[in-house]
Amino acid sequence: MNYDSYPEIKPGRKTIKRIYIAVMLFIVGRAIQAAGRMDKTVRKEFQNLKDDFVFALGVHPHGPWMVVGRDTKGRARYLGWNPEGKKIPLKMSIKNVESAILVFTFQESTSVAFARNRFVVDGDLIDALAVVRVLDLVEVYLLPKLIAALAVKRYPKWSELSPVRKHIGRVAIYTRALLGF
């Protein structure tokens, strides 16, 4: 057997898919920050977290990532795309790009992806579940009902989130997310 006929292969990169995920993470990261100011449930979730709480959500092993933390006033703050050099008590990695695509194209909701073991959680699981609840709510604000219903575990009833509150919140969150405040 000529071993040279069987060379080493370095698998390539899925650049376009990674760019799509990076854009989605950027939008969701900024939207979490905005929702933390607009929605009392998101605000409460962040206030219940520890003072120096920071979480990173991204794709194993080469990213992209989003980093979101809690500031001293208990509000959510988007801290950028680079987890390097930051003290991150909760790191939630999606195991690979394809699993991330399933989540960010809403073929699988975050909770289903969690249940299917597509995430690796490095940190406190209770905090991770709070983050999943926040992500669900942010998706409800960001996406039309038809798509959001696929992305979240349970779409909120009218009594939990009235359409008026949802639409006002949606406009405000999109505006704040785009302007970054």
Partner 1 sequence: MQSPKYYEFLGRPKMISGKRALEQIPLELEGYGAGRPLILAQSKAGSGGPAGTIIRALYDSNLVIGALYDGAIAGSTSGIVSELAGLYMARKCDSIIAIGGGALVDVAKCVNIEVTVKKPPLQLAGEGRITRELKPMVLVPVALVSGNEAANRTFIDGMAVISDFLSPDIVAIDHRMTKIAESDAMLFAGMIALAHAVEASISATANPMIDAYAYASIRLLCGHLPAAVKKPSNKKSSVAVANAASFAATAFSNAPAGMTHYLAEALADGTGINPGISMGLLVRSLLKARMADKKGVREELCLALAGPELFSSRQESARTQAAVDALEGIFNELGGLMPGSLKELGVAQDRLKETVRAAVKASPSKLPEKECMDILSRAWEGK
Q: Which helix (H) or strand (E) holds 103?
A: helix 97-104
Binding of partner 1 at residue 10 (CB under 8 A)? Answer: yes
Q: Write the CB contacts of 151 (distance below 8 Å, at least 6 apart in sequence).
A: 106, 109, 110, 136, 139, 143
- Select from 9, 16, 125, 146 the one that contacts partner 1 (CB under 8 A): 9
Q: Where in 116-175 is the site for partner 1 (CB under 8 A)? A: 116, 120
Binding of partner 1 at residue 99 (CB under 8 A)? Answer: yes
- Select from 97, 130, 138, 173 the one that contacts partner 1 (CB under 8 A): 97
Tokens 């500031």: give the residue. 71
Q: Contact region for partner 1 (CB under 8 A) — 38-46, 80-88, 89-97, 156-164?
A: 89-97
CB of 116 to partner 1, least distance (A): 8
Q: 55 - beta bridge partners?
A: 68, 90
- Select from 98, 158, 162, 178 the one that contacts partner 1 (CB under 8 A): 98
User: Taking the CA of residue 147 as centre, how many other CA atoms within 13 Å lie in the half-sphere pointing to its CB?
Assistant: 10
Binding of partner 1 at residue 62 (CB under 8 A)? Answer: yes
Would you call 163 helix, strand, or coil by DSSP?
A: helix
Q: Write the CB contacts of 149 (distance below 8 Å, at least 6 apart in sequence).
A: 155
In whole angstroms, what is the distance from residue 107 CA to residue 101 CA?
Answer: 8
19-58 footprint of partner 1 as x/- string (CB under 8 A): ----------------------------------------
Tokens 């009594």: give the residue. 159
Cβ proximity to partner 1: between 16 and 179 the closer is 16
User: Residue numbers of the site for partner 1 (CB under 8 A)?
Assistant: 1, 3, 6-14, 18, 59-62, 95-99, 102, 116, 120
